[in-house]
Amino acid sequence: MLEIIEKHIRSIEQTALSSAEEVETFRIQYLGKKGILTALFADFKTVPNDQKKLVGQALNALKTNVEEALSRFQVKSNTRKSAPQEDYSRPGYAAIPGAHHPISLVRNEIVSILERMGFAVAQGPEMEDDWHNFSALNFPPEHPARDMQDTFFLAKDPDWALRTHTSSVQVRMMETKKPPIRIIAPGRVFRNEAISSRSHCVFHQVEGLYIDKNVSFADLKQTLLEFARAFFGEKTEIRLRPSYFPFTEPSAEMDIWWGLENEVDHRMTKGTGWLEIMGCGMVDPAVLESCGIDPSVYSGYAFGMGIERIAMQRFQIPDIRAFYENDLRFLSNFTGAL
């Protein structure tokens, strides 16, 4: 039986099929109900047990060869067959333009505004150690502030985790660069959160950091106002609300005035008219110290915003999950946008 199988394998190697009819005959010859392979598989039952493995492997090899030969010749014969039927007067298919993902669109716009304001783009790893994601940012061990961010720890070593925010890039920059430092860090972050229309376990942030002599809260406020007006429109009003982050003191949350004219405005702003855009504050002196920067000489501000929230607001997308479903009906809405 082995010999017969090998003979078939050799003969297939030398077979050339030039027409669709020949391909079909070949297919029926091997794979048809009464074909060679069907017969061989039936005979396989009679092979003694000690030879089953060898014969079985050969049989499978033959089957693969047949299938490969078929797909090889089918492609060829298809092209040959369809060529003369081509209607050359038919208008061409419209080229379907690609589209940037809405998250990329918003990120690019945020980055380009901040670049114009003098910030350079920095990057850091998505997998971080406890120091860069938490400790250096003044989250003490066991401190409840760590609960603000549900973390995906690495199973093998809980000192490592997927970063929960891009603030970790601040630490890396302060550790390696001398002030003045003026960077933004766009990137992906991860939180062990239940997925809903408003939150996802993967999302994007843009972090900002400015460290120099005599940086004040007024500098922060003016920078954010400029940013908000460049992004949301010239007349945009902002407000800063006191807040808490372990790595900034004082800390604030920035809202933009959204308006309260219709039902959607009420829903978007929880009835206040103000839309929360980002967290910010003056870098805590303890953080500067952890990163080797002398807080008696330097001060700085930081801010961090979520790209999804801003994109949802900009494009009126009611469900954050739409960003990750890769549904062409959704993505194709963004063709042509730059």
Binding site for ligand DAH (CB under 6 A): 165, 167, 207, 245, 248, 279-281, 302-304
Cβ closest to ligand DAH, residue 102 vs residue 300 = 300
Q: Count of CB atoms within 10 A of residue 193's CB?
A: 15
Shortest distance in whole angstroms from residue 247 CB to ligand DAH: 6
Shortest distance in whole angstroms from residue 302 CB to ligand DAH: 3
Cα dihedral 259→260→262→268 (10° resolution): 80
Beta bridge partners of 135: none
Residues composing the chain: 338
Of 164, 161, 135, whose CA–CA distance to 149 is shortest?
Answer: 164
Cβ closest to ligand DAH, residue 106 vs residue 280 = 280
Shortest distance in whole angstroms from residue 170 CB to ligand DAH: 6
Amino acid identity of residue 207, one-letter, is E
φ, ψ dihedrals at 206, nearest 5° = -125, 125
Q: Please enumerate in sequence order all residues whose Cβ is within 8 A of that of 31, keeping only pairs 6 or more positions apart, or say none.
A: 37, 38, 66, 70
Cβ closest to ligand DAH, residue 11 vs residue 192 = 192
Cβ closest to ligand DAH, residue 211 vs residue 322 = 211
Shortest distance in whole angstroms from residue 111 CB to ligand DAH: 16
Of 52, 82, 191, whose CA–CA distance to 128 is shortest?
Answer: 191
User: What SS3 class is residue 49?
Assistant: helix
CA distances from 108 to 48, 183, 233 (A): 68, 15, 17
Is the separation of the CB atoms in 163 and 123 below 8 Å?
Answer: no
Shortest distance in whole angstroms from residue 139 CB to ligand DAH: 11
Shortest distance in whole angstroms from residue 167 CB to ligand DAH: 4
Cβ closest to ligand DAH, residue 167 vs residue 269 = 167
Cβ closest to ligand DAH, residue 23 vs residue 181 = 181
Amino acid identity of residue 285, one-letter, is P
